[in-house]
Structure 1
């Protein structure tokens, strides 16, 4: 099965992981940032397709997505559906 988003997603992954971002850098660029434990506390993970994670925010059940960088693993950029 062909994934028409694969090339774009691979480019995004390469860009996100090109420079190891500190948490402070990511916060200044993207706003709120979560490590894995914090993400699990704030969100229910619904699905994964790198660099996106489908989530449901626990506080209000709002579905959306976040981006992540691989190393160190941080999640950021919550976008509601």
Structure 2
């Protein structure tokens, strides 16, 4: 099965991981940032397709997505559906 988004997603992963992102840098650029433990506390993960993670926000059951960088692993940019 062919994924028409694969090339675009791979380019996004490369761009995200090309800049060593400190938490402060990501917060300034994207707003709220979560490490893995914080993400698990606030969201239920419903899917994964790098650099996106499908999530459901626990406090209000709103579904959406976040992006992540590989190292250090931080999640950011919650976007509701």
Which band: TM-score by shorter chain? over 0.9
- Matches of 1:54 and 1:21 in 2, distance apart? 21
CA RMSD of aligned residues (A): 0.3
Aligned to 1:76: 76
Give the TM-score, by structure 1 length: 0.99
TM-score (norm 2): 0.99
Q: Which 5+ residue runs of structure 1 have no aligned equivalent?
A: none
Shift of 1:23: 0.1
- Distance in 1, matches of 2:43 and 2:61, equals 9
- SS of the aligned residue for 2:3 comes to coil
- 1:41 corresponds in structure 2 to 41
Structure 2's unaligned 5+ residue stretches are none
* Deviation string, structure 1 residues 38-72 (Cα, Å, up to 9, x no partner): 00000000000000000000000000000000000
Name the structure 2 match of 1:64: 64
The total of aligned residue pairs comes to 81
